[in-house]
Every structure is written in C-alpha cells, then in structure tokens.
Structure 1
Amino acid sequence: MTSTVITSLETIIVDLPTIRPHKLAMHTMQNQTLVVIRVRCSDGVEGIGESTTIGGLSYGNESPESIKTNIDTHLAPLLVGQDAGNINAAMLRLDRAAKGNTFAKSGIESALLDAQGKRLGLPVSELLGGRVRDALQVAWTLASGDTARDIAEAEKMLDIRRHRIFKLKIGAGEVHKDLAHVIAIKHALGDRASVRVDVNQAWDEAVAIRACQVLADNGIDLIEQPISRNNRAGMARLNARSPAPIMADESIECVEDAFNLAREGAASVFALKIAKNGGPRAVLRTAAIAEAAGIGLYGGTMLEGGIGTLASAHAFLTLAKLTWDTELFGPLLLTEDILTQPLVYRDFQLHVPRTPGLGLSLDEERLAFFRRDKTSTAISLA
C-alpha cells in the first residue's frame, strides 16, 4: 500500500486587532500576530495549525517572523514527501534536525494532527488518548491596570456567565500599588470568583516572600511565576513558604524543564502550554511528569487565535485532573477572526466540538484580507 505523504507546507503571517491593549510585565500588546500553517497531503486532506507568540521577542526566543523563516527554510523541507500519517516519526525528524523552535514545531504538530483526525474521522482529542470532558472552564485576564474598570469588567463577565476565574497581570508597577489593586478586586468579587495573579518574573525573591504572604492573606488563589525562571532554587524556597500555591510558567521552556522543576519542588502548579513544549503531544508529556509528582495542572495559553486554542483544548480534554482549569481566552481578545465559525464560550466554559480534526475551517476571504504578505510561500514537492 502506498502511504499518504505530505505534499506541501505553507506558512502565513496574520495580523489581527484586539479589543484593547493587553498589559504584561514585559510588554503591552496592541494586536495579535498569528502564524497559520497549512499542511497539504497527497490524499487531498489539509491540516491547519497555528504558532503564536506574545509580544514578539519580549517574551521568548521566537517571533512570528522567525517562526515563518525557520519553517520555510529548515523545517518544511524535512517534512515534504514524508508519511503524513506518522506524526511521531515526523516530529522526531524535526527534533533531530532542529533544536528548540517549540512554537514552530507546535504549529506543525497541530496541523499534522488536524489532518490525521480528518483522515480517520476522529477529533484530535481521540488521537491523543480520548477526551474525558467536552468543555473547559476558562479564566479571563483583567489587564487594563485600572481598578474600577477591572472590577466592572469582571462583574460583566459574571453576569453574562462567561468567566468566574480572573487573572491579574502585575509586576510592571510599584509592588504596594499592585497589591492594593489586586486586593481591591478580590474584595469586590468575594467568593463569587477565583482571583489569581501573574507576575511574569518581575519580582526578586525578597519582595516575593512578603508579597505572596499578603496576597494569600487576602484570598488570592494562585501566584504565577513571581520570580525569574532562572532562579529555580529561589522558586523552591518560595514555594515552600508561600501560603498560596506557586505556579511555574516561564520556567517551563521544554519537557526537561518540567522534570527538573518537579524534582526540585520549585512549584505546586504547572502551566501547560503547547507552544512552549512543542505541540499537543509534547505538552501531555509535561502533564505526565506533573501528575507523577503530585503537581497541579493549569491549561495555559500564548493568547492564540481559534486554531491554537482548539489545539490546546483537545490536549487538555484528555487530562484526568485539570485542578486549576484553563485560560484559553485568546480568541475573545480579537475583534476579527479567520475561522468560518467562532469558538463557543458559554456557561463559563469553552465547548470543544467532536467533529474530525480540530473541528474548524478557515474563512479564505478573511485570511487573505488579514495576511501580512499577499504572496504564497508554500514549500512543496518538486
């Protein structure tokens, strides 16, 4: 029997506007840029993937431009002509030839899974072991920096039953002002919502020791990456002292990082991100390490659009325990979409379809309108 092979791989940079600026400790996003990946196969099946970063190079080692260049120049030529149905072999081939580049690899793996799901008539979640839920509770980030505005936004989300978990991005301002801002919001929402903070590595250990105590005393449920990812010993000391759980995010740049963090007791919760691990299959290896070590799981995001969000969701649906839920709200930040049907958020959850593949289709006209470069750069069989 002749196997189905990958015939072409195309990367498309898409710039989409957001509903508001999104403030992080290291950057303020004014829009979101996606790298859409289209894998076409000899049986006529096409798989769609997405690679998305936050803030260009201010967050990590890859940018939309570097992702596109590295896929077009180095990764795509390794895949064209390869067996489209053997995703494991395809990704191992990339790993042997290219170090890192986890964002680029994640988009490629997502596209290969989407194609294989369509080929077999199965949702991606079933290719990843089988879903144990159909929907995921989703957190919302309050990132305006204005206390009254953030409280009003949270109240609206509760009223329309879209979110009851709220994360606050802090660390860019003075510590006492950040703490007062968070505490005021928690007091306003009370027990109706979970309030968490993400510091994006902005504090040093001495500041974090005191701040984590204050936050815990005022009902904050979770503290994400308060100090530098490079200070794992400090993370372990802080995790042992903080009354509120400490979550590792930037500390996990690959599956091996997850093993070392677990071994050293540097966090009580892991943020799972397919982009930082190299794809949906790879992120489940990090989840397995956490589960073996008794570490809680949280479904993280790189603020992907609908494609990357569904790729993450299909992986998270398979986890036995997702104690800290998810933050797959990226599509809700966008004022425009490139999918024919938007993702479904209702009753505080993202509902994931059981249709083959990722369960989406591209709106070709909108994709053409929002793509940065109007010319095709598909890498294909000669």
Structure 2
Amino acid sequence: MRIASIETIIVDLPTRRPHHLAMATINSQGRVLARIRDENGNEGIGEAPVIPHYGAETVEGIKLLIDDYLSPPVIGQNPAALEAILLTMDKIVKDNAYAKGVVEMACVDLTARSFGVSAAALFGGAVREQIPTLWVLGTGDAAKDIAEAEEKMAAGLYKLFLVKIGKGDPRDDVARASAVKQALGDRARVHVDINQSWNETTAVWAIERLQDAGIAVIEQPLPRADIEGMRRLSERFAVPIMADEAVDTIDSAMAIARNRAASAFSLKVVKHGGLLRTRKVATIAEAAGLSLFGGTMLESSIGTAASAQLFSTVSRLDWGCQLFAPELFSDSLTVEQLVYQDFHLVVPSGPGFGMTIDPDKLAFYRRDEGRYRRAM
C-alpha cells in the first residue's frame, strides 16, 4: 500500500450563532481537508480547522505548504508508516503542526480503512464507547448562556459547560461565569477558558472569585510562555489549572509536567500535529499524574470523529471532551452524522474514522468553487 495522491481543499462552514472567543468572534470558519488516496483508489480524509488568532497557521498557508512542499516527499510512502511520514515532513519544515497533522490524520483514516478496523485500533484500541461531552457557551451574554445551557440539559445532550471569557473586562467575565454556575447549580459542571488573556495579577483576583463561585476548571489563564506564572497559580489554588495553548509539542508537554505548571492538559489532535503525537502528549500527562481533557479546534464531523477515536483510547479522560462543534455548525460535510445522546458523544465504530464526505456538501462549501463562499 502506497500513497498515490494528496488533495487539499479549503472549506468554510457557517455557525448557527456567533461564537465569541477571547480572540475572535466566529460566524463562519475555514478548514483544510486532506484527501489521500492509495494506488488502489482507497481514500483517507483529514481536517485542519483554523481558529482566528489562536495559532500561527492559516488555511491558505496550510494548503500551500502541503501542495508544494509536503506532498512530493510523502507520495509513494506507506500510509501506515506514521512515524516515518512525520519525520519526513519534519525534515522539510519546522513546526507547522496543523499542516503535518492533517496529512497524518488522513493517513490514519486510509490505513484503518484498508485494514477494515476503526482508527482507535491503531492506537491500542478503545477503552470507552462514548465520551462525556461539554458544550461551549460562547454567546457573550449571561442570560443567553443560561438559556442555551438549560435547553441542552433538557434535551439530554449536555450537562458539562465551558464559558468562554477573557475578551472583556475581567469583572464582567467573572460575573457572567459565576451567574451561569449559580443558575445551573449542582445540575451541571462549569469550566471557564480564558485563552491566555490575563496577566498573573488579574488571574489571581479572578480565580479567587471563580473558585468561590464553584467553577470546576480554569483553562489557560496566562500567556502560553508564562510557565512560572502557571506554576504559581497551580500551587495557589485548589481549582485545577488546565494548559491548552501552553502544551502543543511533546517538548512543551514535558516542560509543563516537569514544572507542575498545570494539573491538566487539553488535548487537540491538530494542535499536536496528528493522532500519534497527541497520543504521546497524553502518555506524558498520564505518567506525570496529570488529568486529561479532549479539546477541540472546532472541527466538523470529520475531525471530531478522528479526535473521538483517539480520545477513546486514553485510559483516563477525567474531564471528558469538548467535541461539540458539529452541533455548532449549521451544516455537515459528511454522509454519516455523529450521535450525541445521554450527555455523551458516541464514538464512531469505523472503519477508519467512520465518516464519508458528502460530495454535494463539499461542492457547496469549498472555497475555490463553492456557492456558499460566493454568497457571503
């Protein structure tokens, strides 16, 4: 089995409502799809979504890098040789985890499909068939957040919630998150994600109040480089401090673990450069006694299924996962749809990631030829 071709496509998907983050508001999000085929025409698919201002890569840059630099040396290789393919790409360009990750992701899907097994089987097999899933409250308004949370709980879909804060006045952010927790009470667990927006002084002031309000987890309060500050916060507060942007590479995972700069890691397949390297980051956390959370880059059903397959193999996923994004988008790119029920995401059974691209939806949402982009 050898890789015969690699195709990349930029796709834009609209959201059901504006999704407010500390660094941007998302109404439509771009992503790069990779379609890798072997000499027999079998196909694997991968996805690299990009959140504005979250990282250094763009969808345009990812596509260019893969098309012009990564594809030529990868074509002809065995898609099952994941480590060799990653090392090949590392020799071509440093960093660029999203570009490398989407290629590796498609190789995983192709390999698992060829073997007739789920992608999870390539990483030791699943230890769970469903994952507790968290919904992100990103309306920017406490009353709307509470109403949205109540709706999700009543439908039996979600009882874990994350409030996105950090964009506005810290006093307003603390008040909004506290109001959500007070309204939901013991019926739901509430996290907050600051996306690096505070300095240490602000973080100390805010976390004291968030902890008193019953917030369960504080995600990435400080800039990613401030490991010492994260360590001091972790030592000072009982509420867990979770590293997200601060833990992307295997080296950064080792640094965070060694310095006890967080008590939990947020795993994201694209952020870490693919499923194999995400599993390595998870292993570091497990060895260091840190808890794990399955994060999201707002993947469609393609990347969400890939993440779910990988997260299903992690022995402990203490904080569940954040793989809610397919329900945030107003449409899907795949024939199959993910199942959310009883406050869990059901892990697709495969083969591969268990997802097949819907050609009509792809034709509509692709940036180069699709009608959606022209109508924006």
Structure 2 match to 1:275: 270
Which of 46, 49, 53 is the matching residue for 1:52?
A: 49
Runs of 4+ in 1 over 3 A off after TM superposition: none
Structure 2 match to 1:20: 17
CA distance in 2, matches of 1:240, 1:304: 33
- Whether the aligned pair in 2 keeps the contact of 1:169 and 1:197 (CA below 8 Å) is yes
- The aligned runs of 1:164-203 (5 Å cut-off) are 164-203=159-198
Which of 210, 213, 231 is the matching residue for 1:215?
A: 210
CA distance in 2, matches of 1:333, 1:351: 17
Per the normalisation by structure 1, the TM-score is 0.95
- The aligned runs of 1:201-350 (5 Å cut-off) are 201-350=196-345
Alignment coverage as a number of residue pairs: 370
- Whether the aligned pair in 1 keeps the contact of 2:79 and 2:108 (CA below 8 Å) is no
Question: Does residue 141 of the first structure (1) align with residue 136 of the second (2)?
Answer: yes
Higher RCO (Cα < 8 Å, 6 or more apart): 1
Question: Does residue 77 of the first structure (1) align with residue 64 of the second (2)?
Answer: no
| Structure 1 residues without counterparts, runs of 5 or longer | 376-382
CA distance in 2, matches of 1:87, 1:293: 25
CA distance in 2, matches of 1:248, 1:84: 31
- Whether the aligned pair in 1 keeps the contact of 2:130 and 2:346 (CA below 8 Å) is yes
- Whether the aligned pair in 2 keeps the contact of 1:268 and 1:295 (CA below 8 Å) is yes
1:112-165 Cα deviation digits (max 9, x unpaired): 011111111100000111100111111011111111111111000000011110
CA distance in 2, matches of 1:366, 1:276: 26
Give 1:26's aligned amino acid.
M
1:247-299 Cα deviation digits (max 9, x unpaired): 00010121110000000110001000111111011101001111111111000
- Deviation at residue 243 of structure 1 after TM alignment: 2.2
- Whether the aligned pair in 2 keeps the contact of 1:107 and 1:308 (CA below 8 Å) is no
- Whether the aligned pair in 2 keeps the contact of 1:164 and 1:194 (CA below 8 Å) is yes
Partner secondary structure for residue 258 of structure 1: helix
Question: Does residue 7 of the first structure (1) align with residue 1 of the second (2)?
Answer: no
Question: Does residue 366 of the first structure (1) align with residue 338 of the second (2)?
Answer: no
CA distance in 1, matches of 2:242, 2:87: 29
Structure 2 match to 1:43: 40
- The aligned runs of 1:92-171 (5 Å cut-off) are 92-171=87-166
- Whether the aligned pair in 1 keeps the contact of 2:82 and 2:276 (CA below 8 Å) is no
- Whether the aligned pair in 1 keeps the contact of 2:195 and 2:221 (CA below 8 Å) is yes
CA distance in 2, matches of 1:176, 1:308: 35
| Structure 2 residues without counterparts, runs of 5 or longer | 371-376
CA distance in 1, matches of 2:77, 2:226: 41
CA distance in 2, matches of 1:136, 1:212: 28
